[in-house]
Amino acid sequence: MKDFDVDLFVIGAGSGGVRAARIAAGHGAKVMVAEEFRVGGTCVIRGCVPKKLYVYASRFADAFEDAAGFGWQLPQMPRFGWRALVDAKEREISRLSGLYRLNLEHAGVAIVATRAVLEDRHSVRLADGRVVSARHILVATGARPVLEPAIPGRELAITSNEVFDLEKFPERMVIVGGGYIAVEFASVFARLGTKVTQVMRAENVLRGFDDDMREGVHDALAKAGVKLLFATLPTRIEKADGGLRVGLSNGEEIACEEVMIATGRKPATAGLGLEKAGVELDPLGAVKVDAYSKTNVDSIYAVGDVTNRVNLTPVAIREGHALADTLFGGKPTAVVHTDIPTAVFATPELGTVGLTEHAARAIFAIVDIYTASFRPLKATLSGRAEKTIMKLVVDGETDRVLGVHILGEAAAEMAQLLAIAVKMGARKADFDATMALHPTAAEELVTLGTRAARYEREVLEAGPGAAVAEP
């Protein structure tokens, strides 16, 4: 049998690559991983983790305001310092990146800090010209933000890659896009004090999410002071008055300090040598793979965003783990891409798992919908005009819960746990048979559509001091 330098060469030390490398090494494989930027990848360095830290930062604004309703008197509205947040974030992601590196080293993985491209089906070329031969090659290069639409001056805009480390906190910002990244940053910057205008081609935010939740997020953004412009596109960006000026398709011009383009991400396959190695790509440039993450070339595999299946960190991690088990653990493992919980970390946040009402109606003959929309208990004293919305999508024939959608505090945490029930095939009757935990928002989920649920809502909506009597 032919000898190779390594059993597995991983291109990209992000969520998928790191997990695949570490588990493969644990199975006894000789593994090398190349990373051209920072170990940890998008999620750790400029994605989920720093984003969630900034979301936490943004929510203090609401907490300070709400405190008065609970008897707290703040001497003055506290001031926010952008630099302190950026520095604190940098310390945390550096710590995490270091941990990832350490875990790889402890597992015996060789890390090379360089760009790597495919030379052929069994070899990889490093930036210094060195060629490493590998029995298996894993492409885990992720995705990159696109600067679209291709308008004059787009090079003046930033993407999610740059937004975390802005030198100066922007007083005014235009965010282009209606997807979850655009929504999350609009919510964050508006709460931190930026005057945000969010511009999108679509008629509403968050295409692909449940329509009731989209409405709820739209309302919440507007309440936070985000100016939303639908069916509108930027037409040009130019420098003006020491800042930027954005021309819009509706004829408006907006002056701002930053324009963030968040209109999508593209699989990072350009210039990777995939075509040379004979690897098939789809029309969007994503690597085509089977359920075991194998490409059309026997020795080459791909996991994570570069395959454009479901572009989330836990999915990339699961795919990387499964691949290592398949190749070196004697346990061929396919990844199932259904009922994946996900969240939009706006404020309030959106947590969801399973089918939207729209998707369910396209598949199932009878779809039952259970919804609740209520003022959370905390808002009764804070006075905040906030609504929690919950929705169950149920197969009317089998009673199976097909989807759960929640907009409200801790919705992402709820979605993670509800995903277990949905994955297990829970029926609406199982939800109903579960005792409520009072007082919580989540208890609505086990009383939806019953007389008791209506009663609880009436009590909460009536506000503090409402007579509590069985209806």
Ligand X SMILES: Cc1cc2nc3c(=O)[nH]c(=O)nc-3n(C[C@H](O)[C@H](O)[C@H](O)COP(=O)(O)OP(=O)(O)OC[C@H]3O[C@@H](n4cnc5c(N)ncnc54)[C@H](O)[C@@H]3O)c2cc1C
- Per CB under 6 A, residues contacting ligand X are 11-17, 34-37, 41-43, 47-48, 51, 115-117, 140-142, 160, 181, 268, 272, 304-306, 311-314, 316
Q: How far is it, in rounded angstroms, from Cα 247 to Cα 81?
A: 30
Which residue lies nearer to ligand X by CB, 12 or 247?
A: 12
Q: Which residue is nearest to ligand X (CB)?
A: 14
CB of 14 to ligand X, least distance (A): 2
Which residue lies nearer to ligand X by CB, 54 or 328?
A: 54
Q: How far is it, in rounded angstroms, from Cα 137 to Cα 116?
A: 11
123 bridge partner residues: 120, 133
Which residue lies nearer to ligand X by CB, 47 or 408?
A: 47
CB of 311 to ligand X, least distance (A): 5
Report how far apart, in Å, the C-alpha atoms of 94 and of each of 32, 41, 108 are. Answer: 22, 12, 21
Q: Burial-class residue 469 by CB neighbours within 10 Å (0-12, 13-18, 19+).
A: exposed
Which residue lies nearer to ligand X by CB, 311 or 416?
A: 311
Q: How far is it, in rounded angstroms, from Cα 78 to Cα 192?
A: 11
CB of 249 to ligand X, least distance (A): 26
Find out whether 392 and 454 touch, Cβ atoms under 8 Å. Answer: no
- DSSP secondary structure letters along 19-53: HHHHHHHHTT--EEEE-SS-TTHHHHHHSHHHHHH
Find out whether 393 and 402 touch, Cβ atoms under 8 Å. Answer: yes
Report how far apart, in Å, the C-alpha atoms of 124 and of each of 38, 319, 427, 465 are. Answer: 19, 22, 50, 70
Q: How far is it, in rounded angstroms, from Cα 444 to Cα 460?
A: 11
Which residue lies nearer to ligand X by CB, 6 or 372?
A: 6
Q: Burial-class residue 211 by CB neighbours within 10 Å (0-12, 13-18, 19+).
A: middle
Q: What is the Cβ-side half-sphere exposure of residue 205, based on CA atoms within 13 angstroms? A: 32
117 bridge partner residues: 125
CB of 149 to ligand X, least distance (A): 19
CB of 93 to ligand X, least distance (A): 12
CB of 257 to ligand X, least distance (A): 20
Cβ count within 10 A of residue 436: 15
Catalytic positions, written as ranges: 438
Which residue lies nearer to ligand X by CB, 317 or 402?
A: 317
Please provide residue 134's backbone torsions phi and psi, each rounded to the nearest 5 degrees.
Answer: -145, 140
Which residue, chain included where needed, has tokens 């009764």?
A: 380
CB of 368 to ligand X, least distance (A): 30
CB of 411 to ligand X, least distance (A): 13
Tokens of 183: 């929504």
> What SS3 state is found at 99?
helix
Q: How far is it, in rounded angstroms, from Cα 464 to Cα 183?
A: 33
Whether the ω angle into residue 234 lies within 30 degrees of 0, i.e. cis, is: no
